[in-house]
Each structure stands twice: as C-alpha cells, then as structure tokens.
Structure 1
C-alpha cells in the first residue's frame, strides 16, 4: 500500500517544492539595482517588500514645480546606498512576475524603510500592514523626495504607460496625482 501511495504523494508535493526553490532560502550577497524597489542578487530578481517606488523613467514635480526624474533618483539613491555592501534578503512572498518579494537589509538598515523615509517610495500598506506608515508620514510632513511636490502614484503611472501613454503624459496630472 505504501508503494502505491508514495508516487501519488510525490506527484502532489514535488511540484510545490520545485515552484518555490529560490524563495525558500535567504538571499545574501552584493546587489545590482534595477530600479527603486527591485534588485538582483546572484541572478535572482527581488522586489522589495511593502513599498512601491516611481518607475525609472517616471517624472515628478519638485517644490519649484519643474519636472525631475524621480524614478531615476530613487534607483540611483538605492544604488549608492547599497554599493559594496552585502545585503540579506529573507523572502516573504513571490509576485505575479516571478520575482521574489523580500525584506532586504544592509546591516541593520531595512531598505524599504530607507526608501520610504527619504520620500523615494510609497508604502504599500496592503502588504506591509503599516510597518512604514510613520516613516511615510514623516517624509510627507518634511516634504522629502516625491513629497516635495507632486507625483503620480506608481501603479497608475504603470497602468497609463501600458495603455500607450507617454512618460510626460503618464507622469503629469490626472487620476492618482498627489
């Protein structure tokens, strides 16, 4: 009986184990930055847990109301902070694009908190359960980063771009403009 049951059990359990191999272990190493909330360690693409940064090409308006490359600023700031450091990224989940979602840290610094506190990303409270709310509130009150002027929420910017919009149109005004 056990001989008949083992193959059936293996058919059920093996696909589950194979679908989640990278997320099973903490990723540790030096990173390359893709954008303000995505990085790569050892060839694995990782999305930072609980935050959403402007897209690399996205524009925001600063205190002076002039457009600036807020997405590039977010990516460059994350790159400068992590350069030469070893990061620890314990996986939390996966996303629909096949990326590992992880809460990464450089030493004692949580990268999600680092980005939100500087106004370079917004918290995604539906995932973070409010972990970065105080940091976002402080960044907004102080007018740091994207909070110094106006910006389009990153998901709305992406949606606009996928609908055939241009960087200038999707970055400026409309629904989701803060």
Structure 2
C-alpha cells in the first residue's frame, strides 16, 4: 500500500495488537493514537514517489494524488476502521469507513488504487468499474504499485518488507495463473501446464497480472482460452 496514504490514516488505537472492535477517530492530515501503523485491507495504491502518465501522456505524482484524494474524502469527519487481521510486522490490516462508506472500496472505484489480489479479491469489481470508466490511474498508463516497489527498492527482499503477509490468511500462497491481455485486448488467463502457459510473459505495466485462483481471474474480467 502506498505509504503516502498514511498521511491520511496512519495510526490506530491499541498498539500493534489485533483488535476485535472497530476503532473510531477523527482524521486530519494524520491520525496519531498510540503509534500503531496500519494497512488498508485489499487495496494497493501508487507509492508517494511513483510517477504515472495521464491520458495526454503527461507525468504526474499519482501516489501523492491518491493520498490527497483520500485525505479530502475524509475531511474532518470521524472515521471507523474495522480490523481484519494483523500482519507479521504487527500492523493492523483494516477496512476504514466514513459513515457507511467503505473508503477502501472508494479508493479503488475512483482509480486511486488497485485491488490487492495477492491478499483479497474483495475490490476486484470496483477496479473493473474504474478501469472501464478510465478513472484515476486508469485514464493513462501506470506501473502496478507492487511491481514499482520491486524494481525501485531492491527486488524480492524489499517486496517482502513492503507487502507483509497477513497472519491467518492464504496470502502466502504462490499465485501461478497468468492473466494476459492479447493484441485484440482480450483478457485471457492461462493455467500452469496449458499449451500457452510457458511462452506467456506478464507485463504488469500493461495491466497484466498473476492470479491465485480461476475464480479470482474470472471476477476480475479474465476468461479461459477458447478452443
């Protein structure tokens, strides 16, 4: 998740321990309550230093735009964050709401973040809507935030540090299904052992990605090969 987002929602009550009850607070530029860092569940936004291109090909700080969008959406309203898990680094993984609105879902639906399928497919539908409507980062071109971290922060070791596996989840499983986009724009997934699997190379910058299950790929708009 983009660390710039922590300028809008950074700290939660109760330290790093998992809390069963919702945590309620008022967000300004930063929420600081007893110094526990959080992660927003199921989404991944561009990093603060990450640069994307808009529809005209002009570069802009998409991570900074995402953080400001979330901060503006919250404003001075109280928010409630529901803990879902605690990751291996003690960070509380949460779904935050402003009233009845799921802020995690709003970020993805507005194109300020992508669904973090390595951990959950809960927001795959919002991502598909944002992509179809060309909202936010989908209006132009961007590098998948996880891919950006891998190439800018030292490869696999940095990826593990940035994307810790939530305790008790299946996020540590290896996702081996390749989601490819054909020259005609068809989104096709390839299972290990199938004829096209070995020669299929995933380009995250083009919107291609890996999936953990067929259901996840189908929910994101990919289909099996025909014939």
TM-score after normalising by structure 2 = 0.58
SS at match of 2:106: helix
Q: Within 1, Cα distance between the matches of 2:79 and 2:91?
A: 17
Q: CA deviation at 1:32?
A: 5.0
Which is richer in helix?
1
Q: Within 2, Cα distance between the matches of 1:81 and 1:145?
A: 15
SS at match of 1:157: helix
1:45 to 37, 40, 49: 37
Structure 2 gaps of 5+ residues are: 1-14, 156-201, 207-227
Residue 177 of structure 1 is matched in structure 2 by 205
CA contact (8 A) 2:107 2:113 kept: yes
CA contact (8 A) 2:47 2:145 kept: yes
TM-score after normalising by structure 1 = 0.73
CA contact (8 A) 2:82 2:96 kept: yes
CA contact (8 A) 2:27 2:74 kept: yes
Q: CA deviation at 1:85?
A: 1.1
Where relative contact order (Cα < 8 A, 6+ residues apart) is larger, the structure is 1
Alpha carbons of structure 1 residues 114 and 148: separation in structure 2 relative to 1, 3 Å? same
Structure 1 vs Structure 2 CA RMSD: 2.4
Q: Rg: which structure is higher?
A: 1
SS at match of 2:19: helix
Poorly superposed stretches of 4+, deviation over 3 Å: 19-22
- Give yes or no for the alignment of 1:148 onto 2:145: no
Q: CA deviation at 1:41?
A: 4.9
CA contact (8 A) 2:48 2:63 kept: yes
CA contact (8 A) 1:29 1:41 kept: no
Q: CA deviation at 1:20?
A: 6.3
Task: Say how many residue pairs are matched.
Answer: 146
Residue 30 of structure 1 is matched in structure 2 by 26
Alpha carbons of structure 1 residues 97 and 54: separation in structure 2 relative to 1, 3 Å? farther
CA contact (8 A) 1:103 1:112 kept: yes
Q: Within 2, Cα distance between the matches of 1:114 and 1:138?
A: 11
SS at match of 1:177: helix
- Give yes or no for the alignment of 1:110 onto 2:110: no
2:116 to 111, 124, 129: 124
Alpha carbons of structure 1 residues 91 and 33: separation in structure 2 relative to 1, 3 Å? farther
Q: Encode CA deviations 1:91-128: one digit per residue, 9 max, x unaligned.
A: 00122443110011000110111100000000013433
Residue 59 of structure 1 is matched in structure 2 by 51
Residue 210 of structure 2 is matched in structure 1 by none
Q: Within 1, Cα distance between the matches of 2:122 and 2:129?
A: 13
